[in-house]
Structure 1
């Protein structure tokens, strides 16, 4: 009979190894979401760096849950089940933000969106494009960019002091612009994420969670940055009041 030594009292349990199958399934969905169009099984297997038979087993499971589907040619693309999952992400923030996003988009003639902090990135949660504007900048839900580039990331940092940010141990430097954004209530950037595109953002403090950012993107504007920034800060304050 074999025996194993008991863990010392109070010791943290050993971390369970991650599920390789689950990780591959999530990676498959990430690849499909980022692809410009539907992919064949072979193309997806290559992108995942796995044998086609392995990819096929994973994809069958995802397909059973409507997380992916096939077009008329049998190619793979994201399925409607993802929309159901996305609807539950930060549900309270989405509900509180939508009226403000709609107001900002149609008042400023700019694409307005909410960005969430995800590790080293900002991810667009929800977006609203203006009803009657001509050329606008598309900002699709799920799109991401580095948190250390662009107004949303600066705004998220500005919700914290530099000391608070450093204590989080993110490994990302606290941008000097975040200190100024903390003072004036909004941040600005130009040409950082998309060439020729400007962005302004205000932090949204989420109770019990990480700060988010309320932002707009535009190429040209009839409004000065201060006017747009103050509108964003006012909208962010109303969202925070609803979340409190």
Structure 2
């Protein structure tokens, strides 16, 4: 199973093209910040203006303001990077830091047992948002990062989150299901629908993909009470995956995190 970010990652879709007259400055500021991604960590003013569809003069004023408040940093060569002030604020997000702090001891146990990639993700805007990962130095290379987004239909954590997502989101993803972009058993929307039903019935998923990477994933839901608030997974080479016992290990770890969430009263908002 290919646990990679969605293709064509970049700024999140925005309403319309260029900012409308009178568009709130907060919308334009977020449009500017959203141009940063794993492929665009450092950008010039021209890059910011082009990728945000904001006129250069307006982009310059916004960038200066964001630098003043620490949301952006300006390098000696005039280019911009994301500022540490955003990290400071983001660390307070209950669905990120709060959930992570509860899950981390169990993720570490799971990591010690498997010595592979261990992922924790939450549902956000129709995608799986990775909030934590642990990876062995010799684990097979797979492209993802904390804060990165993973597709729901073709990753282990995504399938779990999708299986317990609102029906409207499920139908939207099922309708857009494309063969060859997820588990090899998913060729049609009907296949994806059956797989989601299996996830709900078994409370976990084991999936794989032979092309282009031979990887397998086992994932299970993390609950706070009756609500699924996250998904936990192990990603490992497909060779020997079936005999490694990843499925029971992930399910046991996810249930342990769920019990601790309920005991601690940490309630990540849905």
Larger Rg: 1
Structure 2 matches for 1:128-147, cutoff 5 A? 128-130=134-136, 132-147=137-152
1:118 aligns with 2:136: no
Partner SS state of residue 211, structure 1 = strand
Partner SS state of residue 129, structure 2 = strand
In 1: Cα distance, 2:211 partner to 2:164 partner = 21
In structure 2, the gaps of 5 or more residues are 1-21, 175-191, 263-270
In structure 2, relative to structure 1, the CA distance for the partners of 1:206 and 1:66 (3 Å cut) is: farther
Candidates 210, 213, 230, aligned match of 2:248: 230
Candidates 145, 150, 156, aligned match of 1:151: 156
In structure 2, relative to structure 1, the CA distance for the partners of 1:152 and 1:198 (3 Å cut) is: same
In structure 1, the gaps of 5 or more residues are 1-17
| Alignment size in residue pairs | 222
Partner of 2:179: none
Kindly state the Cα deviation for residue 114 of structure 1 after the two structures are TM-superposed. 0.9
Partner of 2:208: 190
Q: Root-mean-square deviation (CA), in Å? A: 2.8
Partner SS state of residue 31, structure 1 = coil
**Of the two structures, which has the highest relative contact order with CA contacts closer than 8 Å and spacing of 6 or more?**
2
In structure 2, relative to structure 1, the CA distance for the partners of 1:33 and 1:192 (3 Å cut) is: farther
Structure 2 matches for 1:76-95, cutoff 5 A? 76-89=80-93, 90=95, 91-95=97-101
TM-score, normalised with respect to structure 1: 0.78
Kindly state the Cα deviation for residue 238 of structure 1 after the two structures are TM-superposed. 0.6
In 1: Cα distance, 2:171 partner to 2:31 partner = 23
- Structure 1 residue runs of 4 or more that deviate by more than 6 Å after TM superposition: 167-170
193-202 or 107-116, larger mean C-alpha shift:
193-202
